[in-house]
Amino acid sequence: MDTKVKGIVIKTSEYKEADKLASIFTLEQGKIFVKFAGVKKDKAKLKSIAQPFVLAEFNISTKGKNNTITSANLIDDFSSLLNNFKKMMCGYIILDIIKSILPSEKSEPDLFLILLACLKNIEQNDEYIYTIDFILKFIEFSGMGLKFYDSPKIYLDKTTGDFNTVKDINSIEIDKRVYTIIKNINEQNYSFEYNQTTIKQALRLLHNILYAKFNEDIKSFDFI
């Protein structure tokens, strides 16, 4: 059976002598696993397509449980994102969240559009702000949205990944500057001043929240 999907490559791995395996997040089918046959050969037509961040229209041949990409038309490769290390690593955080947490073969068109919009914002604007923006939207999309408070002290429950205003044995106090960054972005206030140290702390805090909520360690955060 042959199908056509619009999707973005989120991960590739080497397979046999000339092939690659890949995870692709598609508009129509959600996250799927495919094979790019022969793409490691010098003159392979799909060599440049079988790469993370490539957004394309893919033609897929399915036999049993095996999906093979037969052709593809490039839509975007987010090349300017890949030419900046900080933007690239923030992009990888987003792809890794989809790869590690999102269930396979479940169509999520709204999340697909959120992902593309956030990658484009990372490419064109502040990479840290829009990475945080995506993480908050992903948590909300998953039905585990964070509740924010106006309080002199804010605590994080390490077991649930939620904020609260009361300290207990499972909670730690959050730096108010870090909390304010996350709260501003959650309220879609993207215009504020910050220093690099504090916004990186905000990203690491969200890493901890993701781990508490989904029990997944997103390795790309190690580079932040």
Band (pLDDT 50/70/90 cuts) for residue 153 is very high
Sign of the dihedral defined by the CA atoms of residues 23, 25, 26, 28, in that order: positive
User: Tens of pLDDT along 117-151?
Assistant: 999 999 999 999 999 999 999 999 999 999 999 99
pLDDT of residue 105: 86
Rounded CA separation 163/179 (Å)? 9
Alpha carbon 120 to its chain's center? 12
Q: Span 67-88, mean pLDDT?
A: 94
Q: Report residue 147 as tokens.
A: 């509740």
Q: Is 100 left (phi over 0), alpha (psi -120 to 50) or beta?
A: alpha
Band (pLDDT 50/70/90 cuts) for residue 90 is very high
Looking at residue 50, the DSSP 8-state letter turns out to be S
Residue that the structure tokens 């502040």 belong to? 126
Q: What percent of the chain has pLDDT over 70?
A: 100
Least confident of 41-45, 84-88, 93-97: 41-45
The helix-helix angle for 176-186 and 127-141 (nearest 10°) equals 70
User: Tens of pLDDT along 19-76?
Assistant: 999 999 999 999 999 999 998 998 889 999 999 999 999 999 998 888 999 999 999 9
Q: What is the pTM of this model?
A: 0.94
* Amino acid identity, position 67: N
Band (pLDDT 50/70/90 cuts) for residue 113 is very high
pLDDT of residue 17: 87
Architecture category of domain 80-223 in CATH = Up-down Bundle (1.20)
Tell me the fold of 2-76: OB fold (Dihydrolipoamide Acetyltransferase, E2P) (2.40.50)
What integer best gives the mean pLDDT of the chain?
Answer: 94
Judged against a pLDDT cut of 80, whether residue 1 lies above it is answered with no
Domain boundaries, the chain: 2-76, 80-223
Q: Which residues pair with 53 in a beta bridge?
A: none
* 34 contacts 60 by C-beta, under 8 angstroms: yes
